[in-house]
Every structure is written in structure tokens, then in C-alpha cells.
Structure 1
Amino acid sequence: MIKNPSNGSSRMGIHLKTLAGIMGLALLTTLLFFNENYEGFKDFLVIYIWGLVVVATQWLGNSFIYGLLDKKYSWQDQLVKRAIFQILAIIAYSATAYMVVMVIMYKLVVGSLPENPLSWGLRSSYLAILVSFTVSLIFVAVAFFTNWRKSQLEAERFKAEMLMYKYEALQNQINPHFLFNSFNVLSDLVYEDQKKAVSFITQLSQLFRYVLDSRDKELVTVREELEFIKAYTYLLQSRFEEKLTIQNELEAGDHEMIVPMTLQLLIENCVKHNEISASQPLSIRIVRNGEYIQVENRLQPKPAGSESKMTGLSNIRQQYKYFTDKEIVITETEDTYSVEVPLIISDQK
């Protein structure tokens, strides 16, 4: 395997920056807090090394704790738990490490232990606790703001995607192919059966009315969607007649929601990607399967080279991610193809 030299240089750069930060902070600490404790360069060097050990153990130890908590607790999903664990862990480690280092360095420099090492260490560790607590609060504040901003951006992105999805759905409903097929059927009906032609026009107008009304809605009730599907089914069966059968076995509900035109897109996929003829009539079923709506069709795919059906399903997936953690389920057997979309209860998000 060929190694990327940039990875090694990047890690080296991080290590050098860490070393520079530790040395710089140790120097700053020595100059600010211990400027009266040394008379010559030798005293300064001893105190600087002392401070260097303290800063290094605090920096590296706290960095390790941050990394460990990053793996276990997400700032985005577990903000409160992460903040509590981080503050407690940092304070406990900082106080213990500072006290141990101070006692050891005292022994090395002075040559003996303080009269009461534990009491002396505890008294001297207050600064480490204060600094660590302050730094932890800063981290929590930054993480809170970052995740708040991220949620805002995700909400804005969702709105943009939802508008694009609805725009594409509207385009699909009024694209030239759909209009051509609909008006073709209508022109035949005008001469053959004027009463049926009036019904066709009524259903067509209801379809477009629903498309326009649902543009500004994130969710609609299952009842509303089924009323729309009745009109859409009527238009399709007027075109294909006995070559297409759509069985709706789903009961309407007012407290269960769905993304607008989801069922229409699933039915459209069935029609678009399967053979429909007198010798191969297509059968589609709409049923409830637990907390899902299932659209199932007999599998009789068109010859290879037809347009993929995954684009529309990908659009639906993106919309449902905002409302539920449940996945869209796709099942394909030798004879059938089905897609299940989750129902969304109206009092939920």
C-alpha cells in the first residue's frame, strides 16, 4: 500500500503545534504567577521546567479525556450528559494530576516532601480546578452554539430541499408527457363518452388543485392523500383501462400524516418501470402494514435500459429523514416489488 506523505507531515505539524503550545503556556505561567520566586536564570529554569511538567500533564491528560468523551457522547445528541461528564471528569483529573505533579516536583526540587503532602497538594490544586472548570465551560458554550447553529443550517437546508422536492413534484405532474397523455385520453372521451369526459376533467382539476394546495405543506393527512390518489388513479385507469388495476385497501386517517404526493410518486414508479399490456396487466396494491403504508406491484420490469426508479425514492427518503427515524423499506422478490413508507403521527415532530 502506498502511504500518503502528507498524512505524516500533517501529524508532525499537529505534534509541533501541541509542543509549542505547551512550552508557550508554561512560559506564560512562569512569568505571570512565579515572577517573584526566582532570582537568577537557574531559578527561572527550575520553575519553568516545573511549570512545563504541570502544563504538559494538564494539556495531554485533558486532551485524552476530550477525545474519549467525543467517542462516547455526541455534543449534538447528548449535550447535557456530555457537558456534565466533561466538567466532572476534567475537574477530577486536573485536581488529582496537579496535586501529584506538585508533590513529586517539590520532592525533586526541594529534596523532601512537604509536612503534610496531601493537605499541601489540595491547597495548591485550586488554581488547576478553577482553570479546568473555566475551560470546560468555554468548551460547553462553544459546543452548544456550534450545534445550535448546525441545527439552524440543517433546518434551512431541509426547507430548501423540501421546496425543491415540491417543485420537482409539481413539474412531474404538469410535464409535457403527462399533459399529452391526459389530453390524448380526454380528446378520445369527448367523442366517445361526453359524460365520462366531464368526469375526467373534474378529476384532472382536482389533481392539479391538490398539487397547488400542498405546495406549502410539509405533511398532509392520509385522508387528504387518498382523496388525491383517487383522482390520480382515475386518470391512470382511464388511460390503461383493464391493463392496470390499482387496489386501495388503506383506511383513511386524520391523525396519521404523510409527505404530500408520496403515494403518487410510488404509483408512478410502478407504472413507469413495469410492462403494462393486455397480455401483461399490471396490478398495484396499497395496504397498511403496521405503522407503514405499503405500495406493492407485480414485478414485470421493462427491458434493461429504462430509467432507474431510485431517484424518486431517494427524494422521498430525504423528506422523511426530517420527520422520523424510521427507514423506508424496499422489498423485492421474484414476483413482487414493494415500498413501505412510515406513517407520522400528527402530534409528533
Structure 2
Amino acid sequence: MIALYWQWFNPTRIFFGRGVVAEQASGLAELGHMALLVTGEGRSSRLNGSLGDVQEALSRAGLGCQIFDQVEANPNLETVRAGAQLAREVKADVVIAVGGGSPLDAAKAIAVLAVNDLDDESLFAAEFTAALPTVAVPTTAGTGSEVTPYSILTYPKIQSKRNLSSPLLYPALALVDPDYCATLPRHITVDTAMDAYSHALEGYLSLKANPFSDRLAEESLRILGEQLRRLCSKDIPAAEEREALSYGSVLAGMVISQTGTSIPHALGYALTYFKDMPHGRANGLLLPAYLHFNLNSKAGARAQAVLDASGFDDEAHFAATMQQLAGEPPYCSEQEKQDFVEICLRAKNIRNNVVQPRDEDVVDIFRLSLG
């Protein structure tokens, strides 16, 4: 099941722990002189202290900065093009992302478009050879984007999200301080935890899994499986649980940096695009049926290893946990279900599973998930 020939490349320097932004101010100075600070359009990065910490670190390092705070949830191309234009205007030579997955993904695309004149298709085809360096300061525990070469953007042309992938998108630095997650409300904590867990699970069941990614996935599944069960019975995680969630998310991000994602992500994008369902929650909704498919395939032993590593008693325990956290599925008409599956079947990652699904298997996973 594991490739006998494999390789590993992840150049991101990771600093994990409380106070790492202040401690690594000198590292920021090595990357440039003018920073574009990319963050969300809300106030969370200001309220949790992350944006202020980064601004202070930049000041101490002697860097100027300009804030771009127009990133919406599930960012689109218009937003990243506006950010790239601002980067050019202020002559930014480094892009720093502060926030959840949306600012991090947007910042990577901005770093490309700031130094490349590309149309949409050329951008997604990664027809570029340069990008500004990026720094990622995550304030949620779920995306893993701080250690991946991906930028996921909403693309109306295909009525879904689309993946921009290039080694140039790996952040130069990832500064992960779990304290920035302390003010997250429960529903965002749960949604992002399910996203991180889906990364570890899908990576473990990926066609591209290798011995190193498996060890990281197993550790991530162990940590996040325990935390998901705790979230079922606890409103707000304690500081040590926030730390565990952040650590598990980083590990899971490192996994998919090599393996990519698969069926749940491909299907989940439709629920996010058309039904405005948070990305992590959509993944969590789909995971029970996805794991059931794998458990009842020739990859059954490997799928069972997911349950064992995660600490679940059996498939029913796993399904009950995910259903409690994900909640009720959105209503979808029969026509919508058909249309959504047709869109998802065109996604490349739909086939990135250790057992190749037939089209009817994908339909079954989607329909079982929606009830």
C-alpha cells in the first residue's frame, strides 16, 4: 500500500510555541524591507493580538508594512488581485499572512501575482518561476496552509474551489503560536479541528502516502482524534488542548504537503460553494461515509488503522463523533445532488485515494452524507 520509492520536500522553517513571533523578529528582517500584511476583513487578528504582535516585530526588525485586510472567507481571484496590486504599489518584498486558512491562501496567491502578470488559467497552471517570500502566522488550528505549497481559491468559472500548487508557495517561515487560537469561538474551533483531522485521514489514505507521511499522519490522528472526542463534551478547550490542536494541525498540513487531499475535500467544496457550509464542517460531514467506503474495500486494513490510530472504538463510534460535531447536513434537492457530484467528479483529487472510487461510489458517499 505504501510506495517503495518516495521523496520529501518541505522547505518551510517552522517555529512553534508561545511568543514565537516576537522571538523571530530577526528572521523577518532577513526576508525583505517592506511587508504586505494580509489578514481577514473581520477583527479577529486584532482581537487575538496576532496582528499587533507582527506589527511590533516588524518595527523592531526595521521593516515597513502595509495592511491588506480585505480577505473574505473562501477568497476569490478579485481579492487576491487587489492585494497584489497593493503589494506592487507599496513595493513590498515579503508577504506576511495573519489569520486562518483564507488569509494564508490569499497571501500565497498575492505573492505570486505581485511579481507575475498572469491570467486566471495561467495562474492555476502555475506558469510562473518567481514569487515573493511569504510568512504564515496561523490563528486557527485547521488549515495547515502554513506548511503547504497550496493556495485554495474560489473560482466561479468551475463553480467550486480550485487549487493553485507550486513549490514556490511554501512559506519561508511558519510562526505558530497556539495562544492566538485562545479567543476562537467553539464553532470555529470545531470546524477547523475537523479540517485538520480530515487532512491527516485523507493523507493516510492517499495514493501518494509514503512511510514518512504515514508516521506524521498517525501522530496527527492520535492527537486530533482525542481532541475531537473532547470537543463533543466540552465548550471551550483549555490552553493545553489549544496547543494540541495547533500541533496536530501542523502535522496534518505537513502530511498533505506531500500527499494532497482526496474525496472529502473534492465533495466538500460543493457544499461550501453552493450551501455556504464552512469548509471543515463540510469535510467532517463527509468523513463517515468516506471511511465506510474504504473500510469495505481492499484497503480495509489501512482504513481500520485510521480508527486505531485515532483511538475510536469502532466505525460507529467514529461516525457518531463526527456527526455530533458536524451537525445536520444542509438540504439539497435531488437535482442539486446530481449537479454537485458532476462538478466534483471533474476535480483531480477525487481519484487520489488508495482505492480508486467508481463514479457510483462517489455518488453513494455524497448521498449517504446528506441523509
With normalisation by structure 1, the TM-score equals 0.24
Tell me which structure has the larger Cα radius of gyration. 1
Relative to total residues, which structure has the larger helix share, 1 or 2? 1
Higher relative contact order at CA 8 Å, sep ≥6: structure 1 or structure 2? 2
With normalisation by structure 2, the TM-score equals 0.23
